[in-house]
Amino acid sequence: MKPLKLENISVKFDQKPVINDVSLSLQSGKIGCFLGPSGCGKTTLLRVVAGFQRPDAGIVMLGGEVLSSSTRVVQPEHRNIGMVFQDFALFPHLTVAENIKFGLRGWSKRDAQRRVDELLDLVGLSSLARSYSHQLSGGQQQRIALARALAPKPDLLLMDEPFSSMDTELREQLAREVRSILIEESMSAIIVTHDQFEAFAMADDICVLHEGRVQQQANGYSLYHEPANPFVANFIGDGVILDGQVLSHNEVKTELGFIYGEIAPNLPVGCPVQVLVRPDDVVHDDDAPDHALVVNKAFRGSEFLYTLQMPSGVRVLCLAPSHHNHAVGSKIGVRLEVDHLVVFPQH
């Protein structure tokens, strides 16, 4: 397995920058993810890695070999990078087994057949070897597409929005299955998605992209609790950003009260800041001195997600156990209980 390295990649479409000086790396054997809203450039970046899109600047390296630079371009067919396409792109004129065998040119007949059987077994669809793609369900097509991409033992596997055409219930199960298949094959992979839960379920290392730039690269837990900037804070999970002021090196004042936690040394005392407040940071407590107006509520089974309006007019989200059922328009007591203090400087 080989690590992937992107250095200063830029891509322009008609003079419009789509990827803007992106550098990142992915350790071998890990599952990475390009996560971002639509139009953030994540699919373009994936196509740069695959070799379908030539970058205007920058270097793509896989295990020390330069795949793309200003002087050298390795064609996609010579990169040894597998890809699972958003629409699966199974060849309709070939059977399932022939699809999987497609990339095994140069293998002996016996080895190729063994590899096909092995992969059919791995994805649990041995009985469909002679079927054609139009006879398969979406989930089956997905797994065949995966098997086909894995067959030639690529150095890296790319998956473009692999679950976007699936039912929501199916998605999570498939994501788990695919992850275990990738781990079993000890495959380095990159998936592209706009769905953070899919990213959390699949990836070890998530790279959040926005406007063609890397916003943050970290694992899911860190992205949620330690977002690097307001975009990531807003994009990952629910939350509200409040105005506040630094009181000391570990204390911020907001209109919901004082919040304690570590504050970066570049934010001096008295500095105006923005503070991220997650719904689970706002605790509903009937005995709390502060009260907020219930503006909206959404039932989520075991919990209610309340939208609350503070006396100053600022709105926050609050996750409360569902036996705390309060009507819209009533006032409830709230207090802050922040485990991870996230502070950004005011602009």
Tell me the closest approach of the beta carbon of residue 29 to other proteins, in angstroms: 20
In this structure, the number of other CB atoms found within 10 A of the CB of residue 69 comes to 15
Task: Say which DSSP state 270 is in.
Answer: T
Interface pick for other proteins out of 5, 24, 30, 57 (rule CB under 8 A): 57
Site of tokens 């929005």: 161
Interacting span for other proteins (CB under 8 A) from 86-94, 199-207, 263-271, 335-343: 86-94
State in angstroms the smallest separation of the CB of 70 from other proteins: 4
Quickly list H helices, 86-245.
96-101, 109-122, 138-150, 168-184, 196-202, 220-225, 230-235
Pick the closer one to other proteins by CB: 157 or 294.
157
Residue placing its CB nearer to other proteins in the complex, 189 or 223: 189
Q: Is 13 a binder of other proteins (CB under 8 A)?
A: no
The CA-atom distances, in angstroms, between 183 and each of 28, 122, 179, 188, 251 are 12, 12, 6, 9, 43
Binding window for other proteins (CB under 8 A); candidates: 15-23, 44-52, 114-122, 225-233: 44-52
CA–CA distances in Å: residue 298 to residues 281, 289, 315, 317: 17, 24, 15, 11
Q: Measured from the CB atom, is 136 or 232 closer to other proteins? A: 136
State the pairing for strand pair 81-84/240-248. Answer: unpaired
42, 115, 148, 278: residue in contact with other proteins (rule CB under 8 A): 148
Could you say which of 13, 27, 54, 296 contacts other proteins (CB under 8 A)? 54
Q: Is 139 in the site for other proteins (CB under 8 A)?
A: no
Q: Out of 50, 62, 136, 332, name the contact with other proteins by CB under 8 A.
A: 50
Cβ nearer to other proteins, comparing 188 with 196:
188
Q: How far is the CB of 87 from other proteins (least distance, A)?
A: 5
Q: How far is residue 243's CA from residue 272's CA, in Å, rounded to a whole number?
A: 7
- Which residues 149-168 are close enough to bind other proteins by CB under 8 A? 149, 152, 158
Report how far residue 164's alpha carbon sits from residue 238's, in angstroms, rounded to the nearest whole number: 22
Q: Which of 38, 75, 108, 186 binds other proteins (CB under 8 A)?
A: 75
Of these, 19, 22, 31, 81, which contacts other proteins (CB under 8 A)? 81
CA angle 289, 292, 293 (to 5 degrees): 150
Q: Kindly state the number of chain residues that form the binding site for other proteins, as judged by CB under 8 A.
A: 34
Regarding 105 and contact with other proteins (CB under 8 A), the answer is yes
Contacts of 213 (CB under 8 A, 6+ apart): 20, 21, 22
Is residue 70 within the footprint of other proteins (CB under 8 A)?
Answer: yes
DSSP 231-268: HHHHHSS--EEEEEEEEETTEEEETTEEEES---TTS-
Chosen residue from 29, 63, 76, 257 binding other proteins by CB under 8 A: 76
- Of the candidate spans 31-39, 89-97, 224-232, 284-292, the one that interacts with other proteins by CB under 8 A turns out to be 89-97
Does position 132 interact with other proteins (CB under 8 A)? The reply is no
Q: Summarize the chain as % helix, strand, coil (round to 5).
A: 25, 35, 40
Contact status: 129 vs other proteins (CB under 8 A): no
Return the range that interacts with other proteins (CB under 8 A); candidates 18-26, 97-105, 232-240, 315-323: 97-105
The DSSP secondary-structure symbol of 133 reads G
- Helix (H) and strand (E) counts for the chain? 8, 20
Cα–Cα distance measured from residue 95 to residue 131, given in angstroms and rounded to the nearest whole number = 5
Q: How many CB atoms lie within 10 A of CB 70?
A: 10
Q: Is 58 in the site for other proteins (CB under 8 A)?
A: no
Based on the shown chain and the rule CB under 8 A, indicate whether residue 109 belongs to the binding site for other proteins.
no
Residues that bind other proteins (CB under 8 A): 50-52, 54, 56-57, 70-73, 75-83, 85-87, 89-93, 102-103, 105, 148-149, 152, 158
